[in-house]
Amino acid sequence: MSQSKAETLISAVFRQEILGLSAYHVADATGFIKLDAMENPYQWPDDIKQSWLQMLKSCELNRYPDPEAKHVTRLIKEQDKIGSGFEIILGNGSDEIIQMLLMALPPEACVLSPHPSFVMYQQVSKSLGLDFINAPLLPDSFDLDLPAMLAAIAQHKPSIIFLAYPNNPTGNLFDAQAIKTIINAAPGLVVVDEAYAPFANASFMNELGNYANLLVMRTFSKLGLAGLRLGYLVGATAIINELNKIRLPYNINCLTQATVEFALQHSDIFVEQTQRICVERGLMYDQLVQIAGIRPFPSHANFILFKTPDHKAVDIFNAIKEQGVLIKNLSSQGGMLADCLRVTIGKPEENRAFLDALKKACC
């Protein structure tokens, strides 16, 4: 089929918004020290890996997985002490949960999140043709601009508000009282996205009973199981029941179900690894502060956002990359993220390699 014929078909068949989007780009990390994607750098100890492989032998790959992932669901509800009246829904990553939530909205609905925040809220909203609104965070502190959020709520009456807690890419926790004010003012649902909960001493899980419109989202990705793709959303049973009508029946494959069950039985490993990452985060911050021209922002997540001297971010990013370390360049997003780069906390030797590369790049 000729190129032009394909293009004619595409514009005749696909929604106009899709044509205007770009696919979510992930940099090729082959051969690099990978500090770009908030992954846990640690693997499981060998003996644990062996018993995991042994356990996988009993997975029946010829059968469909449990469509409701009942066992995993029960274990997660126990772990998070989810009380009666609340349910959880699992997604192939929390990205899929964002998609399910937004697919449930009417076409004229509006979605709100502060800016800068996690890009998938906007990406998925746009791909579904929904109106996406954002309200800027406060410069420097990156905290919620509460009057701006409340004004956006009053003006646009968003069906869903997404609040990442801690926020990505800034790493801070928003003021909890401001979040509560937003939940009270919201005419629709408020999703508190706790992807980085393992690294923060804060959560809205205990607030679920206080607000009918609150949903809390978590993922196993940043904890150390990014390759499995499992996220979940906790909320009032009636709301979760509606979302289950949109969820594809076998969205959690049997290897993921079995592995997460196994992982939850060895959760001490993750506790130990996340503690190590939090210690390294403190050391990394202290080192970054001392580099002339670099301004790191305090973080409650497993990454640190930092500002470089004016118009130097791209050069510094490239110079670090040439030294074999891949981080994330956010400066192209402009606005509050102008001159900003983001580094994920890795193993001590990876962090050292990054800091050495940054120091060389800066002078």
In the complex, the residues that contact ligand PLP under the rule CB under 6 A are 38, 93-95, 118, 164, 168, 193, 195, 219, 221, 226, 231
Tell me how far, at minimum, the Cβ of 24 lies from ligand PLP, in Å: 11
In terms of Cα–Cα distance, which of 37, 41, 39, 42 is closest to 222?
39
Tell me how far, at minimum, the Cβ of 116 lies from ligand PLP, in Å: 11
Q: Which is nearer to ligand PLP, 142 or 353 (CB)?
A: 142
Q: Which is nearer to ligand PLP, 191 or 361 (CB)?
A: 191
Q: Which residues pair with 325 in a beta bridge?
A: 33
- Tell me the C-alpha distance between 245 and 313, whole Å: 45
Tell me how far, at minimum, the Cβ of 108 lies from ligand PLP, in Å: 25
- Tell me the C-alpha distance between 126 and 27, whole Å: 22
Q: Which is nearer to ligand PLP, 164 or 190 (CB)?
A: 164
Cis, bond preceding 187 (omega within 30 deg of 0): no
Q: Which is nearer to ligand PLP, 118 or 142 (CB)?
A: 118
296-306 burial by CB neighbour count: b if 16+ within 10 A, else e?
Answer: bbebbbbbbbb
Length of the chain in residues, anyone?
A: 363
* Strand 328-329 versus strand 340-344 pairing type: antiparallel
Q: Which is nearer to ligand PLP, 218 or 307 (CB)?
A: 218
CB-hemisphere CA count at 13 Å for 85?
Answer: 7
Q: Which is nearer to ligand PLP, 36 or 95 (CB)?
A: 95
Torsion (CA) 354, 166, 118, 311 in degrees, nearest 10: -40
Q: Which residue has the tokens 């001392």?
A: 290
Q: Which is nearer to ligand PLP, 93 or 346 (CB)?
A: 93
Dihedrals phi, psi of 185, to nearest 5 degrees? -85, -20
In terms of DSSP H, where are the helices of 1-88?
A: 3-13, 16-20, 46-56, 70-79
Q: What single letter denotes the amino acid at residue 247?
A: R
Tell me how far, at minimum, the Cβ of 119 lies from ligand PLP, in Å: 9
Residue number with the smallest Cβ distance to ligand PLP:
93
Q: What single letter denotes the amino acid at residue 111?
A: V
Tell me how far, at minimum, the Cβ of 184 lies from ligand PLP, in Å: 23
Q: Which is nearer to ligand PLP, 29 or 151 (CB)?
A: 29
Tell me how far, at minimum, the Cβ of 26 lies from ligand PLP, in Å: 12
Tell me how far, at minimum, the Cβ of 84 lies from ligand PLP, in Å: 26
Tell me how far, at minimum, the Cβ of 194 lies from ligand PLP, in Å: 8
The distance from CA 319 to its chain's CA centroid, rounded to whole angstroms, is 27
